[in-house]
Structure 1
Amino acid sequence: MSDWFQLDKEYMMSTYCRTEVAMERGKGCKLYDVNGKEYLDLFSGVGVNVLGYNHPKIVQMTMEQVAKSLHLPFHFLNPVAIEYAKKLVDCTLKSGKVFFTNSGTEATETTLKLIDKYRFIANEERDGVVVLKNSFHGRTLGALHFTRQEKVYQNFPKTSIPVYEVERENIDQLEETIIKENPIAIMLEPVLGSGGIYPLSSEYLHGVQNLCEKYNVLLVVDEVQSGMGRTGKLFAYQNFNITPDIIQIGKGAGGGIPLGGIIVGERLCDVFSPGDHGTTFAHSSMGTALGLTVLNTLLDDGLMQEAYETSLYLNDKLQDIQKENAYYIQEVRHAGMMFGISVNDTNENVKKLQIELMNKGMLVDVTQGNIIRLLPPYIITKEEIDAFTYEFISCVHNIAATASI
């Protein structure tokens, strides 16, 4: 057991289950621990490092921005933040405004506060937000109750905003809930991420849009995990030609620097007044400079299309593995560079599979107990995919041999 592990236990609050591996640096799709061992990161730092680690453009912009300023007071105009906000609006709703936060969770909190203010000034009787079962929208006190995973919210007091939970893909249940509860908004992930990588169907999303228009309900899409090019479009909702009122961003937006935010349409963009909302590091110099760099790299370098084509290669390999091991691997779900691999085994054995992969230099995530989740960096190569799938097959066979299925 490493000294770092003992020190972590002694001085760091226990909010995540950590391994005994101490990471030191990254390059491309690889991480290196303090002993120099190399790992291929198929989870891109919890979906953050979409351009990989230490991408040349990120490094260059970081050095340039450090020489200018790390932080400027929010009382003054920030040209980089304004340019970034304009580009986000131009790439999405065409007309609207942006508020930048430090994380995806803060984006959810901002959304909830904005919706509540909208209710007040519009003298709306409607209240509450509809969310999908097993969705994830953050862990802060307000956001965690809109995360419909019991292990996340069960030990905390309820939010003052009513939450109505519905099953995904059940449009009839959604309409019944809207009629009965009269909510102000529906919040959804176009691809349920922490819930196991379940892409919502085009039919369902168009049905949601129609119900929002029919009953005058706000539509919020949480693109914290599925956004910034991960599904082949800048945002996943753009694959379906729907128009949300609010788009939440985070994770990969900042290229490794904490950055989140919301993009809002015309109906909501002037709801907040000065003093209604804010945070010290909103539209930070470093965050928005790197956010703009990530956005420009995705749009100008053709990286989103390249990444999508590479994702098809990985999907083909995983589907072949599933067919050959159908007794153990139930299903492989995929939406661009998002993969959910459902394993027919105990949670304990799936954890062992993850650890064995890590010991062989392959980093993956486990969510919902038995689902291997992959969120690879967009720059991953076919050679790196081949190396991963080779080790994955080997580890699957080793763990499956001990399973009682």
Structure 2
Amino acid sequence: MADWTHRNREVIMNTYGRLPLVIDRGEGATLIDENGKRYVDFITGLAVNIVGHSHPKIVQTLCEQGEKFLHISNLYVNKPAVELAERLVAATFPGKVFYTNSGAEATEAVIKLVHKWTKEQKTGQDGIVVLEKSFHGRTLGALKLTRQPGVYQDFPVSNFPVYDVAPHDLAALEQVLKEKKPAALLMEPVLGSGGVVPLDSDYVEQAAKLCQQYGVLFCMDEIQTGIGRTGKLFAYQHTSVNPDVVLFAKGIGGGLPLGGIIVKAEHAELFKPGDHGTTFAPSPLSAALGNTVLELLIDDGVLDAGANAAEKLQNGLQELQKEYAGCIESIRGLGMMIGIVMNLEPVKVKEIQQTLLERGMLVDVTQQTIIRLLPPLIVSDEQIEFFLALFTEVLSEVSE
């Protein structure tokens, strides 16, 4: 491991605090390091590997599509992409899909779509409302660097208005909608890196009504929560809302980069040829894998099985919280997106993460004191029991 760690340090820029682990391969909900040690993976590539690692159907599709072609550009019709868009629209609402390579690019597409909408509406609305502690990607906006009129047009760069309000504060949201006249509201139904904070269904539904009342686009960022992560294909489907735009990425590509937006039919013609584009998205290979992911989730019952497994995991954690209330403040989340809010110093939480890793268990830490669990939907009862037993063991040591 030391050799690969050194080589990594020598040639890859230091933008991540990597765990001391060199992965060789993956099988289901398990990762295996270069020495053959096995780890139960409750991080899943930060919510990407929704059906686990190297699922046989994923591997089969990978080989079948790989033998056909890997890239053809958007100059031609991409059959796997059309099929995937049909599935996504059928599973959400009538509309159309724009594909991207990542979640951040899906956010960029929404920024441009919202701007196109404001120009068409001619109401003077401008800007986007987001929730405090929300996360929508890391790109600044490539248009800021572009100086070709045919590409740049008049889209906004980094200086368009952004207003943030606290989650669940409807009064603050309405005040911003009324006084600032933004064009859109963009929210995650569960704040992921913001601490795994699920939004109450009533709040989401009331926020949607406020958007309708004030003529504001209602956009749901389902980059992390979507593709089965919360027990529904998309988390907004736990409510009665009907968004104008849904962002997706992470789990849809079966482990390969793929993202995009689903746009309600009445806004689906906002983008015209030349308004937006990308060289690689949608990759025919990623789109083919996306079709297989949805087949597994919906047709093969993985979505329902994952929801049942998530319930078992959540119930086990609730019992642990009662036993170790001094260490665990609360358990929150939705489906296979779980935050264990620790009542410990950040350094102690990182030590717990490291101890779990050493004993064969991979978990994430966000907001310094929240252990984040993002297991694959195919996780077994035995693997859930392994985690609960091991976590109990570590907590008992911390409590001594």
Shared fold, TM over 0.5: yes
SS of aligned partner of 1:340:
strand
SS of aligned partner of 1:84:
helix
Q: Equivalent residue for 1:65? A: 65
Q: Aligned partner of 2:352: which letter?
A: L
Q: Aligned partner of 1:107: which letter?
A: A
Question: How much has 1:142 moved relative to structure 2?
Answer: 4.1
| CA-to-aligned-CA distance 1:206-225 (integer Å, 9 cap, x gap) | 11011011001000100111
Question: How much has 1:387 moved relative to structure 2?
Answer: 0.6
Q: Aligned partner of 1:60: which letter?
A: Q
Q: Is the 8 A contact 2:135 2:192 kept in 1?
A: yes
SS of aligned partner of 2:340:
strand
Do residues 44 (structure 1) and 44 (structure 2) align? yes
Separation in structure 1 between the aligned mates of residue 324 and residue 73 of structure 2, nearest angstrom: 56
| CA-to-aligned-CA distance 1:379-400 (integer Å, 9 cap, x gap) | 0011111111111111122234
Q: Is the 8 A contact 1:352 1:399 kept in 2?
A: no
Question: How much has 1:355 moved relative to structure 2?
Answer: 0.4
Separation in structure 1 between the aligned mates of residue 20 and residue 208 of structure 2, nearest angstrom: 46
Task: Count residues in correspondence.
Answer: 386
Separation in structure 2 between the aligned mates of residue 134 and residue 142 of structure 1, nearest angstrom: 20
Q: Equivalent residue for 1:54? A: 54
Q: Is the 8 A contact 1:134 1:195 kept in 2?
A: yes
Q: Aligned partner of 1:388: which letter?
A: F
Runs of 4+ in 1 over 6 A off after TM superposition: none
Separation in structure 2 between the aligned mates of residue 234 and residue 280 of structure 1, nearest angstrom: 28
Q: Equivalent residue for 2:154? A: none
Summarize the alignment of residues 312-331 of structure 1 with structure 2, pairs less than 5 Å apart: 312-331=311-330
Summarize the alignment of residues 23-42 of structure 1 with structure 2, pairs less than 5 Å apart: 23-42=23-42
Separation in structure 2 between the aligned mates of residue 21 and residue 124 of structure 1, nearest angstrom: 53
| CA-to-aligned-CA distance 1:276-322 (integer Å, 9 cap, x gap) | 11110112110111111111111101111111111111111100110
Separation in structure 2 between the aligned mates of residue 295 and residue 98 of structure 1, nearest angstrom: 16
| CA-to-aligned-CA distance 1:104-138 (integer Å, 9 cap, x gap) | 11100111011112212332311111101111111
* Percent identical: 47
Question: How much has 1:74 moved relative to structure 2?
Answer: 1.1
Q: Equivalent residue for 2:152? A: none
Q: Equivalent residue for 1:164? A: 163
Q: Equivalent residue for 1:346? A: 345
Separation in structure 2 between the aligned mates of residue 35 and residue 216 of structure 1, nearest angstrom: 58
Q: Aligned partner of 1:59: which letter?
A: V
TM-score normalised to structure 2 length = 0.95
SS of aligned partner of 1:311:
helix
Question: How much has 1:346 moved relative to structure 2?
Answer: 1.0
Q: Aligned partner of 1:49: which letter?
A: N
Do residues 221 (structure 1) and 225 (structure 2) align? no
Summarize the alignment of residues 330-369 of structure 1 with structure 2, pairs less than 5 Å apart: 330-369=329-368
Q: Is the 8 A contact 2:84 2:291 kept in 1?
A: yes
Q: Is the 8 A contact 2:41 2:375 kept in 1?
A: yes
Q: Aligned partner of 1:326: which letter?
A: A
Question: How much has 1:174 moved relative to structure 2?
Answer: 0.5
Separation in structure 2 between the aligned mates of residue 304 and residue 360 of structure 1, nearest angstrom: 29
Q: Aligned partner of 1:101: which letter?
A: T
| CA-to-aligned-CA distance 1:236-258 (integer Å, 9 cap, x gap) | 00110101010000110111010
SS of aligned partner of 2:292:
helix
SS of aligned partner of 1:258:
coil
Q: Aligned partner of 1:10: which letter?
A: E
SS of aligned partner of 1:267:
helix
Q: Aligned partner of 1:195: which letter?
A: G
Q: Equivalent residue for 1:89? A: 89
Separation in structure 2 between the aligned mates of residue 256 and residue 123 of structure 1, nearest angstrom: 41
| CA-to-aligned-CA distance 1:336-364 (integer Å, 9 cap, x gap) | 11100000111111111100000001000
Separation in structure 2 between the aligned mates of residue 335 and residue 142 of structure 1, nearest angstrom: 31
Separation in structure 1 between the aligned mates of residue 111 and residue 270 of structure 2, nearest angstrom: 12
Gaps of 5+ in 2: 143-156
Q: Equivalent residue for 1:77? A: 77
Separation in structure 1 between the aligned mates of residue 136 and residue 73 of structure 2, nearest angstrom: 29
Which stretch shifts more, 392-401 or 260-269?
392-401
Q: Equivalent residue for 2:180? A: 181
Q: Is the 8 A contact 1:100 1:261 kept in 2?
A: yes
Separation in structure 2 between the aligned mates of residue 184 and residue 39 of structure 1, nearest angstrom: 46
Q: Equivalent residue for 1:149? A: none
Q: Equivalent residue for 1:202? A: 201
Which stretch shifts more, 392-401 or 245-254?
392-401
Q: Is the 8 A contact 1:2 1:20 kept in 2?
A: no
Which stretch shifts more, 246-255 or 19-28?
19-28
Q: Aligned partner of 1:74: which letter?
A: N
Q: Equivalent residue for 1:118? A: 117
| CA-to-aligned-CA distance 1:190-219 (integer Å, 9 cap, x gap) | 111111111111110111011011001000
SS of aligned partner of 2:267:
coil
Do residues 6 (structure 1) and 3 (structure 2) align? no
Gaps of 5+ in 1: 144-157
Which stretch shifts more, 49-58 or 389-398?
389-398
Q: Equivalent residue for 2:286? A: 287
Separation in structure 1 between the aligned mates of residue 399 and residue 110 of structure 2, nearest angstrom: 44
Separation in structure 2 between the aligned mates of residue 252 and residue 75 of structure 1, nearest angstrom: 26
Separation in structure 2 between the aligned mates of residue 141 and residue 173 of structure 1, nearest angstrom: 27
Q: Equivalent residue for 2:153? A: none
Q: Aligned partner of 1:78: which letter?
A: N
TM-score normalised to structure 1 length = 0.93
Question: How much has 1:259 moved relative to structure 2?
Answer: 0.6
Separation in structure 2 between the aligned mates of residue 267 and residue 181 of structure 1, nearest angstrom: 24
Q: Is the 8 A contact 1:128 1:162 kept in 2?
A: yes
RMSD: 1.2
Separation in structure 2 between the aligned mates of residue 268 and residue 84 of structure 1, nearest angstrom: 20
Q: Aligned partner of 1:183: which letter?
A: P
Separation in structure 2 between the aligned mates of residue 260 and residue 169 of structure 1, nearest angstrom: 28
| CA-to-aligned-CA distance 1:54-103 (integer Å, 9 cap, x gap) | 0011000000011001111210011211111111111101x211011111
SS of aligned partner of 1:273:
coil
